Amino acid sequence: MIHVSILASGSSGNAILAKAGETSILIDAGLSAKRLNELLAGLATPPETLAGILLTHEHVDHTRGLKGLCGKNEIPVFTNPLTADSLRKGGMQTDWRYFSSGAAFQVGDFNIHPFAVPHDAADPVGFVLRHGPSSFAVLTDLGHAPRQVVNSTRGVNAVLIEANHDETLLQNDQKRPWSVKQRILSRHGHLSNQAAANLVAEIASPDLHHVLLAHLSDDCNAPALATGTILEKLQATGNNHTRVHCPGAEGFPLPHTIAV
Ligand SMILES: [Zn+2]
Ligand SMILES: [Zn+2]
């Protein structure tokens, strides 16, 4: 069984704790080290007990607390060389452990499969984590889903997927300049609710029990809108068994934990 706890989600910070057997792993560290320490302590997993930190990519909303967390605790950081390079340029030094996209590796009781995703970062990835028959996919920060992303995640038991924006709300948004909207909507930007719904429907199987919606925009999305779009698509394909959660929204206080 894998226990997944969403610690934070969205442009102000992203972090996920995954536990299986004797192993605890943090995926992304996008909150301050102080806040991550508090949250991990609250889940009886102080940072020094982590087997490693996996990074999806170098953007600050995924790495803000990395330096503070690793500096004191010597936690290995699993990433690909290009992501590490770009963090090193920002002065980050740590116990790097390199993987290549597409090549599975083991961290304690987890088997981890990283795969490339299209996003405006050095070498961004998604992950599928496996432990025994249980599997959990992380699909956040991607502009669209190429075939290989679908193939890598089809059949998993749970998926955390980005539902960043509602396209109409984003297009009508007054705060964002045109260039920023173009970046978000591009093929290397972020998934809309509809794009996330289409992707969930493609990877869904009778074994998909949980969908966790992540990285919702504060201004250009709403939990009910995102959840409704995903549920509507699942129901249209005859799927009535998959639960859709929106961690951080009403009814899903953070940290939000599920077991798969
Ligand atoms: Zn990003
Ligand atoms: Zn992000």
Rounded distance, CA 147 to CA 163, Å? 19
Q: How far is the CA of 60 from the centre of ligand 1 (A)?
A: 8
According to DSSP, residue 174 is labeled S
Report, as ranges of residue numbers, the positions in the chain whose pLDDT lies below 50.
none
* Residue 71 confidence (pLDDT): 80
Q: Pick the ligand that lies closest to the CA of residue 215.
A: 2
pLDDT at 257: 98
Q: What is the pLDDT of residue 214?
A: 98
CA of 88 to the centre of ligand 2 (A): 19
Distance 30 CA to ligand 2 centre (A): 9
Q: pLDDT value at position 61?
A: 98
Q: Could you tell me if 199 and 161 are in contact, meaning their C-beta atoms sit under 8 angstroms apart?
A: yes
Q: 């249980």: which residue's tokens?
A: 134
90 CA to centre of ligand 2 in angstroms: 18
- pLDDT at residue 67 in the model: 95
What pLDDT sits at residue 176? 93
pLDDT at 169: 94
Q: Residue 58 Cα, ligand 1 centroid: separation in angstroms?
A: 7
Nearest bound ligand to the CA of residue 57: 1
Domain residue limits at 122: 3-259
Write the CATH number for 249: 3.60.15.10
Number of domains in the chain: 1
